[in-house]
Amino acid sequence: MRRLSVGLFGLAVALTTCHGVAAQEWPARPVTLIVPFPAGAAVDTLARAVAQSASQSLGKQFIVENRVGAGGNMGGAAVAKANADGYTLLFGTPAPIALNKLMFKGLNYDSEQDFTPVVLVAKSPLIIASKLDFPAKTFGELIAYAKQNPGKVNVGHPGNGTLGNITSELTQQFAGVKMTNVPYRGSAPLTTDLLSGQVDVAMDFMPTYVPLATAGKIRALAVTTSKRAAELPDVQTAQEAGFKGFEASAWYAMVAPTGTPRDIVAKLNDLVNAFLKSDRGKTVLEQNAVEGIGGSPEDLKAFIASELAKWRPVIEAAKIEM
């Protein structure tokens, strides 16, 4: 028994030592950051900036791979099933990292079980915007108009199951109104129809709409976070319009496959936090109309849990299923 105990202890020490050595040597080859959305999206731009910074810091290439499809699930599944060695990471949004498990039947991975949190990179408000000739000129007026005209306000969002979609449902549940959801295949066709007046209101990620609102081509009614957006300082929040507790954020985070060594997770976390504090990082954040967050892996874990708790009843009440 004593020999067995000593043997097991020795094995544990050996495994721990090997694990530590592997973590110290990481990265010994290129690291892949999978982005589950197309090139050019805000999440892709942020991922490429982080990858470039990490490559320069560590002397090994960080490669961004766009694995697109199924609302982010193709990229999410690829990372969930990858080796937990620090060489395949997910740089994603709420959908593949948290919310898709509440909407997609037959999802082939579990984001809560299959991912190790690394860092919450950034957050951004969603924008609630209208065509220029829409009768409502504020968020409060939009809700009043929707109450007087149930089902007649068309609300465009960038696709079923997107944060724009569930924010529209949150708005309707929160205010007790009925509007008609109009799903689009992304933000580009939605903004085109908003500009041409084919849709009344858009609820979507903010960056695409900032230059349009600034140029007076659309009307920004509100942002969905608790504080105003620096890029649109004159646009009120939904809470300022009288809807206390109303909040919805787009966010961007890095996660790794469950079982990734803690030393590697810590090194990745340090890299991203350093990037967010750098002059280059601040410039990229400003250019993409997002707020750098950072923090620890534990912070991201708690944040994801809070997002699931907030959105689960909204999704269930709206019966959003994919």
* DSSP per-residue letters across 11-70: HHHHHHHHHHHHHHH--SS-EEEEESS-TTSHHHHHHHHHHHHHHHHHSS-EEEEE---G
The stretch 101-122 carries a mean pLDDT of: 96
Residue 254 near residue 46, CB atoms below 8 Å: no
Q: pLDDT grade, residue 23 (50/70/90)?
A: low
Residues 62 and 130 occupy one common structural domain:
no
In this predicted structure, what is the pLDDT of residue 233? Answer: 96
Tell me the residue range of the domain where 197 lies: 125-223
The stretch 249-265 carries a mean pLDDT of: 97
pLDDT digits (tens, 9 = 90+) for 203-246: 999 988 999 999 999 999 999 999 999 999 999 999 999 999 99
> Higher-confidence residue: 70 or 264?
264
Strands 219-223 and 31-35: unpaired
Residues 100 and 157 occupy one common structural domain:
no
Residues 49 and 101 occupy one common structural domain:
yes
In a domain, 153, yes or no: yes
Residue 252 near residue 290, CB atoms below 8 Å: yes
Residues 197 and 93 occupy one common structural domain:
no
Cα distances from 161 to residues 1, 44, 166, 191, in angstroms, run 57, 20, 7, 18
Least confident range from 8-12, 99-103, 152-156: namely 8-12
Greatest extent of the chain over all pairs of C-alpha atoms, in Å: 83
pLDDT digits (tens, 9 = 90+) for 63-85: 999 999 888 999 999 999 999 99
> Higher-confidence residue: 54 or 3?
54
In this predicted structure, what is the pLDDT of residue 294? Answer: 98
Residues 140 and 207 occupy one common structural domain:
yes
- The pTM of the full predicted model, rounded to 2 decimals, is 0.87
Number of domains the chain contains: 2
Share of the chain above pLDDT 90, in %: 85
pLDDT of 182 over the 90 cut = yes
Mean pLDDT of the chain: 92
Residue 76 near residue 109, CB atoms below 8 Å: yes
- CATH code for position 168: 3.40.190.10
In this predicted structure, what is the pLDDT of residue 40? Answer: 84
In this predicted structure, what is the pLDDT of residue 41? Answer: 83
Residues 63 and 86 occupy one common structural domain:
yes
Give the three-class secondary structure for 96. helix
- CATH code for position 81: 3.40.190.150
Supply 12's token pair: 């544990």
In this predicted structure, what is the pLDDT of residue 2? Answer: 47
In this predicted structure, what is the pLDDT of residue 113? Answer: 97
pLDDT of 6 over the 50 cut = no
In this predicted structure, what is the pLDDT of residue 299? Answer: 98
Residue 322 near residue 104, CB atoms below 8 Å: yes
Does 27 sit behind a cis peptide bond, omega within 30 degrees of 0 on the bond before it? Answer: yes
In this predicted structure, what is the pLDDT of residue 45? Answer: 94
Residues 208 and 145 occupy one common structural domain:
yes
Q: pLDDT grade, residue 22 (50/70/90)?
A: low
Residues 71 and 8 occupy one common structural domain:
yes
pLDDT digits (tens, 9 = 90+) for 278-297: 999 999 999 888 999 999 99
CB count within 10 Å of CB 46 equals 24
Residues 130 and 118 occupy one common structural domain:
no
Share of the chain above pLDDT 70, in %: 93
pLDDT of 30 over the 80 cut = yes
The stretch 173-194 carries a mean pLDDT of: 95
pLDDT of 57 over the 90 cut = yes
pLDDT digits (tens, 9 = 90+) for 156-180: 999 999 999 999 999 999 999 999 9
Residues 65 and 168 occupy one common structural domain:
no
Residues 187 and 112 occupy one common structural domain:
no
Residues 99 and 137 occupy one common structural domain:
no
Residue 148 near residue 252, CB atoms below 8 Å: no
In this predicted structure, what is the pLDDT of residue 24? Answer: 67
pLDDT of 9 over the 80 cut = no
In a domain, 235, yes or no: no
